[in-house]
């Protein structure tokens, strides 16, 4: 019997010590947004599926864009993530 572990939700990412960061989807801006995985879990719950998801109410403070690009990284939050 095999065990398949799917990493589909914000809580799964946290439990696997992965990080999720959000960037402004406007390619001329593309700044790192302040939303963190821990904050997203507070706001949307650990059961939120992140695949194909656009968090609502998140807005780029720089250009006002409401679309985000999510980047999943298999490292803990803050680990060697280059600043913008
Ligand atoms: Zn922006």
Q: Where are the domains of the chain?
A: 10-73
Residue 79: how many CA atoms within 13 Å on its side-chain side? 10
* Secondary element (H or E) of residue 19: strand 19-24
Residues 6+ apart with CB under 8 A from 29: 60, 62, 63, 65
3-state helix, strand, coil in the chain (%, to 5): 15, 20, 65
Residue 76's pLDDT is what? Answer: 75
List CB-based neighbours of ion ligand 1 within 5 Å: 24, 26, 29, 60, 62-63, 65
CA of 6 to the centre of ligand 1 (A): 31
**pLDDT single digits (tens) 24-53:** 999 999 999 999 999 999 999 999 999 999
Total-model pTM: 0.82
The Å distance, Cα 54 to ligand 1 centre, comes to: 15
Residue 2 pLDDT more than 90? no
Q: How far apart are CA 4 and CA 57, in angstroms?
A: 33
Q: Predicted confidence band at 71 (pLDDT cuts at 50, 70, 90)?
A: very high
């Amino acid at each position: 019997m095999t065990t398949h572990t799917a990493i589909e939700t914000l809580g799964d990412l946290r439990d696997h010590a992965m990080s999720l960061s959000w960037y402004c989807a406007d390619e001329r801006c593309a700044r790192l947004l302040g939303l963190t995985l821990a904050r997203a879990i507070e706001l949307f719950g650990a059961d939120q599926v992140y695949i194909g998801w656009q968090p609502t109410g998140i807005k780029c403070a720089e250009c006002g864009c409401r679309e985000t690009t999510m980047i999943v990284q298999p490292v803990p939050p803050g680990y060697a993530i280059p600043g913008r």
